[in-house]
Amino acid sequence: MRMPVKCVGILSVVFVAASIGLTAQQPAPDAAGSVATLSPPYKTISYTGTKPAGATAPVFSHGYFIQFKHQITSAGESNIFLWNSSGQAGDEVTIWPEGAAKLLLTSVDVGASGQLAFAGAVVKTDGSISLFIATSDLNGQNPKYFDTGRYRASQIALADDGSIWAVGAEHNTLTKSGGITVTRWNNYDVLRHYSAAGTLIEHFLSRWEPNVASVTVSYDSSGHGTLAAYDSQGAPATTVRQNNALWSYAAPGDLSSQIFLRSSGSNTVLYNGLNRTFYRYTAAKGLISQGAAFDYGTQEKITGFTLSSDGHIYASIKNSAPQHSQSLGPFTLSFSRSGGLARWSRISQDTSTTPTHMQGFRVLGSDGANVVYGDKTGSMNWSAAKSQATPNGW
């Protein structure tokens, strides 16, 4: 097992966070400007799927649009919905593990081999909680669950080799004594790589500094909380700072977290939009960290994110400032060969691209090297992105 960085999550659990162990590079930015163009759609479909009540917005992965419900409270209720690349309804899948009283699905993906994967937490009829990642046939048949201990995967990505990547958080322990409530976390890694059978292969990104063995928050009767950190000997460790960018690793996979985990070909990428840090994993180089710059203000929000089969990153971005809350269109992440900051560069639009396709632009996924995106009409579009950048330059 390779663990180059010493290496938290269910229902309404509070997580404290601080700086992670792997630090992004921060030299002066020198990535190129716009390095890609987006061709007119070569395929457009009318998406026949209507969002089921409580379901996520659609994303596209390996030939399927995926929607799912986070909270499920009864057996027999469809909770994962798949549409094919023609926009026709496919499988409605019912996930309900044996002995479940409630179910929380945090993430769903379809792999290159057509396998379905999903992750979450089960509250059982006896009140116990089980955290899991599972795979099944596309119709939900032949499920294979594996327990992830105290770790709840917030997002998963099926790699082309059948292994499973996850980003998430661990549960705390809770004790009460003399009117004081203490929550405790042992230090852990947020990014994990499992085999198809559920064996932990690798883990990365320590939640707190390497010298921190555990973190506690003590609440008095008035609700005031005191944060403390300890080393492996139980002595006070370096003060742990709160960091909102790390809270999002505990949130179920949705746009509010601004965390995006994708795997395609030989690449797996993780992007933290809150602290603008990008991580890329390959078997040859392990995990590499790089900061990312954005030239269109400080309140950008990614509305869609994808990794193409040829290793390029594409996203739709909007400015979330109230006075500028509109789509800024398609972007690609350009990487510096000299090790400086990566840069979000706006993708030039082919002059023959009709403006309609750019209105309400949101990246849904990729189909090979092509970008799949939605527009304000509800149509789904396939376009070829022509990039001058070389992913091998990362």
Decide if 157 contacts 263 (C-beta within 8 A).
Answer: yes
Number of H helices, E strands in the chain: 1, 31
Whether residue 163 has pLDDT greater than 90: yes
**Cβ neighbourhood burial of 133 (10 Å; 0-12, 13-18, 19+):** buried
Contacts of 277 (CB under 8 A, 6+ apart): 24, 245, 271, 289, 290, 291, 292
* Predicted confidence band of residue 95 (pLDDT cuts 50, 70, 90): very high
* Predicted confidence band of residue 323 (pLDDT cuts 50, 70, 90): low
Tell me, what's the pLDDT at 130?
95
Q: Provide the CATH number for the domain formed by 36-393 in this structure.
A: 2.120.10
Q: Which two tokens stand for residue 73?
A: 């409270």
Residue 308 one-letter amino acid: S
Least-confidence region, from 59-68, 290-299, 382-391: 382-391
Tell me, what's the pLDDT at 144?
96
- The owner of tokens 């990428």 is 269
- The owner of tokens 């390497």 is 210
Q: In the chain, which ranges are continuous DSSP H helix?
A: 244-247
Whether residue 168 has pLDDT greater than 70: yes
d(CA 372, CA 370) in angstroms, rounded, equals: 7
Range among 163-167, 284-288, 384-388 rated most confident: 163-167
This prediction has a pTM of: 0.86
* Residue 111: strand, helix, or coil: coil
User: Average pLDDT of 33-38?
Assistant: 64
Q: Nearest CA to 212 among 238, 191, 190, 245?
A: 238
d(CA 50, CA 383) in angstroms, rounded, equals: 23
- The owner of tokens 């009117």 is 179
Whether residue 3 has pLDDT greater than 50: no
Q: Which DSSP string corresponds to 324-352? A: G-EEEEEEEEE--TTS--EEEEEPEEPTT
Return the H-helix or E-strand segment holding 366: strand 362-367
Residue 369 one-letter amino acid: A
Tell me, what's the pLDDT at 318?
85
| % of the chain surpassing 70 pLDDT | 78
Tell me, what's the pLDDT at 76?
85
Q: Nearest CA to 8 among 331, 310, 251, 293?
A: 251
Whether residue 97 has pLDDT greater than 80: yes
* Predicted confidence band of residue 86 (pLDDT cuts 50, 70, 90): confident
d(CA 36, CA 298) in angstroms, rounded, equals: 23
Please give the residue that has the higher pLDDT: either 316 or 7.
316
Whether residue 65 has pLDDT greater than 90: yes
- The owner of tokens 């390779």 is 2
Decide if 17 contacts 246 (C-beta within 8 A).
Answer: yes
- The owner of tokens 């937490």 is 121
Decide if 25 contacts 339 (C-beta within 8 A).
Answer: yes
* Predicted confidence band of residue 51 (pLDDT cuts 50, 70, 90): low
Domain boundaries, the chain: 36-393
Q: Nearest CA to 154 among 106, 105, 207?
A: 106
Tell me, what's the pLDDT at 387?
67
Residues facing 135 on adjacent strands:
117, 144
* Tens digit of each residue's pLDDT (9 = 90 or more) over 353-371: 555 566 788 999 999 999 9
User: Average pLDDT of 164-192?
Assistant: 88
